Amino acid sequence: MSLAILAIESSCDETSAAVIYDGKILANVINTQSIHEIYGGIVPELASRAHQQNIIPVVAKALDDANIKKSEIKAVAFTKGPGLLGALLVGVSFSKAFALGLNVPLIEVNHMQAHILAHFIDEPKPAFPFLCLTVSGGHTQIVKVNDYLEMQVIGQTQDDAVGEAFDKTAKLLGLTYPGGPLIDKYAQQGNPDAYLFPNVEMPGLDFSFSGIKTAILYFLKKNTQADPDFIAKNLPDLCASVQKTLIEILMKKLRKASLETEIKEIAIAGGVSANSGLRTAVKEEAEKSGWNFYIPKFEYCTDNAAMIAMAAHYKFLKGEFCSQDVSPDPRMAI
């Protein structure tokens, strides 16, 4: 039996639909909501309304791009969580209705597991077991991946996520939302050793990023009081120094995790894995420590339905379906 699955992703501000056919992604359509830029961050109510407007045309385009008819769909997958409740609700409700209309099974997908399984969309693919550093605006985790659907979080942030630290710092620097990519852009022109920021040490393999955000806030307040043009004069150096500090925090724990588990298959995933500084740091460490390093294509790093589809493919093969009573879970854990 040929297996075609429609997948929906709506956990935050991207409305996305993908079609996977016998394990191969045929279409991956993403509609990013630009309305949040003027507010400097995601407005949950606006996000859910935009999902309502976008989801039907996005799904229609995905089916068209894949050259798949609705009657060929064997299951419908969706992001159950984690994410914004209102945004998730749109995707879950649409998926339930679509599956009910076709009389096909539903597959709930964990958003963070899907980020990890994005590594199996294209070659090269990591061998089990491997470690995955999942880094995004809402999560920072080190996950030991034993199989497609068997994962264990061995380290995670105890407060804020690294992606939030990037975006909040960007806002303090007067950069537009989303600010993380802009910090990366300016950092490439600056001196990463220009300024020193505290590297908060957490026990074990856990992370903390709230302290560095506070330190950056007070550092900028102090220096802009002395010179109102301080940020404008030193923007590339500030971005480079902040980025270096955040990446060092991530790399220290990733190195420790590899040593403790004796695993040298190393992957990174999530929106922040698109950061050029992080990619370079992991590649350099891989050469130094003998790691086999994996990272998805850029389009599969940020939120997208292709990763949801890939996770759904493996769940379908194991017969892991859910009922029509399913509800979103904004705080869903791996």
Tell me the backbone φ, ψ of residue 103, rounded to 5 degrees. 60, 45
| Three-state secondary-structure class, residue 49 | helix
Instruction: Give the Cα separation of 178 and 175 in Å (integer).
Output: 8
Closest CA to 4 of 61, 68, 58, 60: 68
Look up the pTM and report it: 0.94
Q: Which domains does the chain have, with CATH numbers?
A: 4-116+300-317 (3.30.420.40), 125-295 (3.30.420.40)
| Beta strand ranges found along the chain (DSSP E) | 4-9, 14-21, 24-32, 75-81, 106-110, 130-135, 140-147, 150-156, 265-269, 292-294
| Three-state secondary-structure class, residue 91 | helix
Average pLDDT, the chain: 95
Q: Is pLDDT of 333 > 80? A: yes
pLDDT digits (tens, 9 = 90+) for 180-210: 999 999 999 999 999 999 887 899 999 999 9
pLDDT digits (tens, 9 = 90+) for 236-270: 999 999 999 999 999 999 999 999 999 999 999 99
Closest CA to 169 of 226, 270, 225, 240: 240
Give the pairing type, strands 4-9 and 14-21: antiparallel
Q: Is pLDDT of 119 > 90? A: yes
- What's the average model confidence in pLDDT over 33-60? 87
Q: Is pLDDT of 89 > 80? A: yes
Closest CA to 84 of 334, 329, 270: 329
Q: What is the pLDDT confidence band of residue 1, given thresholds at 50, 70 and 90?
A: low
pLDDT of amino acid 238: 98
Give the pairing type, strands 292-294 and 140-147: unpaired
pLDDT of amino acid 292: 98
Our CA dihedral for 280, 283, 288, 293, rounded to 10 degrees, sits at: 160
Side-chain-facing half-sphere of 238: CA atoms under 13 Å: 23
Instruction: Give the Cα separation of 56 and 54 in Å (integer).
Output: 6
Residue with tokens 């890939």: 310
160 close to 209: Cβ distance less than 8 angstroms: yes
